[in-house]
Chains A and B, each alone.
Chain A
Amino acid sequence: MNAFTGTGKLIRLVLRRDRVLLPLWVAFLCVVPVVFVSAFTGAYPTDEARQHYYETSVHTRAFTVAYGLLNGSSLGELVAWRSGFLTFMVGLLALLTVIRHTRTEEEAGRRELVGATAVSRHADLAAALIVTCGACLVLGLASALALIGQGLPAAGSLALGLGFTATGWVFAAIGSVTAQLTTGAGGARAIGVTVLGIAIILRGAGDIAAQVGDGPAWASWLTPLGWAEALRPYSGERWWVLALAAAVVAALSALAVALSARRDLGSGMFQARLGPAGAGPRLSSPLALAWRLHRGPMISRVVGLALVGLVVGAMAASLGTLMDNSGAAARQALARLGGPGTLVDQFLTPMMVMLGLICACFAIQATLLLRNEERDGRAEALLATPVNRLRWAGSHFVFTLLGPALGVVAFGAAAGLAHGLNTGAVARELPRLLSAALVQLPAVWLFTGIAFALFGLLPRLVAGAFAAAVVSMLFGWVGGELQLDQWVVDLSVFEHVPKLLGGDMAITPLLIMTAAAAALVAIGLAGFGRRDMPTP
């Protein structure tokens, strides 16, 4: 029996457990680039139209951060560029899938059950990696075939598809390493997502520098997201980048196996310490318990958002200056867009929308914590005491509101401070950016509402609120850009948030969203009061 015996059996187990989710996200990610093809051919049917679109887009910083560098105006290049943000999602999904089948299993004790059968120590790691990487390969090849089917050049389509694959592989490998570090799956996810967040920022910064022709353009090369872009699909493919990704995947997987070999089942590189023998005087209410459970993830998210806010604020400030120093063509573009203030705002506005999406995910995650308390049976012990359901759910509800609110404030304040310091106008920028961040809150809370309604009525589907958030984001982002029907764009919650930076305040949508959120929460709580628990 070698160190990987039983991997085959576990692969079947992983595939069975993921038989719905995995095909779903692979299919979804395959379809998106195809949608771009038809959308671009519909909206910009001629070469001239595409050239015009290219010229107006190539200098827009927000696009560069989200999608990467735009290399040319051919249909393939436009589609590849617009698909740039999909690599974030491929990375995130690969990361979460690997952790889900390794550390989550181990934490739940199911790994132990499987481990007692003829399965050796690295088998679960290998199985999770093989399935995830296999899914990414299928995703890459299927997207390539679909794009070739749309009449795009074969080489470029393959490069675009394999770019997804390579990103997925690297993040799967990153997930396999983080899963060895902490004893809890939550910690492993937090580390992994932080790595992804840093990668997004680095790529954005590097690409902007490359676009402007000044600054640390090499930063993109530090990230797997940058490698997918460096493959240059439809734009003189550079296949050797794949070898770089493969080498990194091999190194990270080897590291994960080495870490896994050095630790005991259930433990991590960071060991759990002993706790107090009795509870402190304050731990005597459901609210105090909820605070204990939420504070760790909440604090790390708020700190993370503050850091990202500082970086974004600092970047925004330097944009205008860089533009000024970067030649006539850039200055011309600048003039066309209407002054440096607008340019900076143009960069910051989608950042605020992104902030809204991230905080919506935090709100959903906080609700999931409540659901997991129920699913894992801990709520049962609490509800057998005089604590009633409403009080228990309410104690968690506080943090589904508070967590995202603190996150929004931290980001807005940090970005405002950094931007203000750079421009010497803290008094102006801090309140301006802070309020632009704060108006996201009603939209964020709407997702608390959706998650709570699901918790009360269809508790197994609470995680489905994530899908609602992502779809909302996509409709707003893609729909508006590709001139889809307005009603499609309107499906995006974030579309209705007033854009304070360069736009006007509108109180009505905020009130409507808040009221809808309150109604959804009320529906969820009413349903929860009536239903059986736990529902496994």
Chain B
Amino acid sequence: MMTETDAITMAGLVKSFGPTQALNGLDLVVRVGEVHGFLGPNGAGKSTTIRILLGLMRPDAGTARLLGGDPWTQTGELHRRLAYVPGDVTLWPNLSGGEAIDLLGRLRGGLNRRRRDELIERFDLDPRRKGRTYSKGNRQKVALVAALASDAELLILDEPTSGLDPLMEEVFRQTVQEVQRAGGRTVLLSSHILSEVEALCDRVTIIRDGRTVESGTMAQLRHLTRTSIDAELAGPADGLAGLPGVHGLRGEGGRVRFSVDAAALDAALRQLTAAGVRSLVSRPPTLEELFLRHYDRASASAGGRHAEAAR
């Protein structure tokens, strides 16, 4: 069901390219006004999802709604309201960066001149160079300036900072925060950079092999993370091994190391104190760990998944 509060709703999207199953029942909901992180390992289907949103491709099955319209049939009206930065920016070899920015802005229905110049300045971009002479990061900047200088209500950014140096990445973060705070705009941000996602996003969707595996607010996701414990004990803590929610338990001498789900933390600590704690180091949960777990399991289960599909 499409409601006023959703900028993007996609449900059960399926898309295959010959033998490759790029999307396999993907769900994605982006609410109006939020910055939504879109994560997944290489080849997970992020760019394919975005291309479907832009009406460049048609899904084999499933539904997609964009800003209350159909992304395949209503491209003209919908695209007036969005700006897009592709994952791999290519520019016209004979057009200067400034010309490309202006052209894209005008096609979108005009761009904010003052803002354009300000962004060029901030991103430290030379707009006079010809497309073919830009480095990868500078090509990325051209597309970013063109998108961020627009007044579009929805920004679709596909790995927008790939190739940017750390300083420029910081500029990007600040700019997105400003843009979003000022206009309450919606941003769909596909990214592999976890710190960027943590800093910018309100909600996150993680996909793998064309399927949504996790979706929720940052707080909800944090809840899924695990605390790591490194403790020196007076006696053996035999109960730990059988405890659900304890992962990767390793013990040698009097030391134990493990990570534990938020839900099982209390029980695990009880076991430790029962054995007698001499010292204890605990690391707070990070999202990074959660992401890596999802990225990792992809390769572990990829074989099984494909075998399943073949059958």
Contact = CB atoms under 8 A, between A and B. Distances in A.
Nearest to A278: B98
Interface in B63-88: 75-77, 79-80, 82-84, 86, 88
B92 A378 contact: yes
B90 A377 contact: yes
Interface string B89-100: 111111110110
A266 B109 CA distance: 35
Nearest to A295: B94
Contacts of B75: 383, 386, 388
Contact of B99 (A184, A275, A387, A533): A275
Q: How large is the interface on B (under 10, 10 to 19, 20 to 34, 35 or more residues)?
A: 35 or more
B292 interface: no
B107 interface: yes
Contacts of A533: 56-57
A275 B132 contact: no
B294 interface: no
B143 interface: yes
B255 interface: no
B128 A381 contact: no
A277 B57 contact: no
B128 A274 contact: yes
B99 A279 contact: yes
B91 A274 contact: no
Contacts of B128: 274-277
A296 B92 CA distance: 13
B133 interface: yes
Q: How large is the interface on A (under 10, 10 to 19, 20 to 34, 35 or more residues)?
A: 35 or more
Interface in A351-403: 376-378, 380-388
Nearest to A184: B93
Interface stretch (A285-293, A340-348, A472-480): A285-293
* Main DSSP-derived SS at the A contact region: loop
A286 B108 CA distance: 12
B98 A386 contact: no
Given A292-B95, A293-B94, A283 B103 contact: yes
Given A283-B103, A286-B107, A383-B56, A378 B98 contact: no
B129 A386 contact: no
A381 B104 contact: yes
B185 interface: no
Interface string A262-305: 00001000001111111100011110010011001000000000
A284 B95 CA distance: 13
With a 10 A CB-CB cut-off, give which of A279, A296, A381 has the most chain B CB atoms: A381
Contacts of B133: 266, 272
A107 interface: yes
Contact of A384 (B82, B101, B127, B132): B82
A387 B130 CA distance: 24
B96 A276 contact: yes
Contacts of B101: 278-279
Contacts of B77: 386
18 contacts: A107-B132, A274-B96, A274-B130, A275-B94, A276-B98, A277-B127, A279-B103, A283-B99, A284-B106, A376-B90, A381-B84, A384-B84, A384-B86, A386-B107, A386-B109, A387-B107, A533-B56, A534-B56
Closest 6 CB pairs of A and B: A275-B96, A279-B102, A384-B84, A385-B107, A284-B106, A279-B99
Given A279-B102, A534-B56, 5 more contacts: A275-B96, A276-B128, A277-B98, A376-B90, A378-B92
